[in-house]
Amino acid sequence: MRQIALALLLVAAQTAAATSCQPALSGDGVHTAEGRDYVVAWRPEPVTLRVSEFFVVEVAACSKSRGVLPTQLRLDAVMPEHKHGMNYRPTVTAAGDGRFRAEGLLLHMPGVWEFRFDLRGAGVDEIVREWISLQ
């Protein structure tokens, strides 16, 4: 009986380890968004976003269940209430190990913005979303 309980504990621990991850990004201003397969940590530079000021986003992602890191990222931001997005398309550079840098983002008006992280890896494609309010 003890061996069965121990085996069940081992399976539970392995399952928990396989279904959780911690993106490799830390520091002030880090936001975290979770999708079905990916967890995304992102930090804007500068940390405080302002209307009509360009900014950069550092992104780190990890896989909760499959261990497949994304190799591609497309980043966009839209205003669902106004049915439009940014006026500029950012340039995204892959840094390896699920890390990316997006440059040339600009939120041109105050309100609620939906950030869309379109992540692609070996057989794992997902859009992870997070909403922010810009004053």
Where helices occur in the chain by DSSP H, the ranges are: 2-18
SS3 3: helix
Residue 14 lies in a domain: no
- CATH at residue 122: 2.60.40.3340
Q: How confident is the model over 6-35, as pLDDT tens digits? A: 333 333 444 444 447 999 999 999 999 999
Residue 48 lies in a domain: yes
Q: How confident is the model over 116-135, as pLDDT tens digits? A: 999 999 888 999 999 999 99
Residue 47 lies in a domain: yes
What range defines the domain where residue 61 resides? Answer: 22-134
Number of domains in the chain: 1
**31 Cβ neighbours under 8 A, 6+ residues apart:** 41, 42, 43, 130, 132
Q: How confident is the model over 30-71, as pLDDT tens digits? A: 999 999 999 999 999 999 999 999 999 999 999 998 788 999
Residue 15 lies in a domain: no
Residue 83 lies in a domain: yes
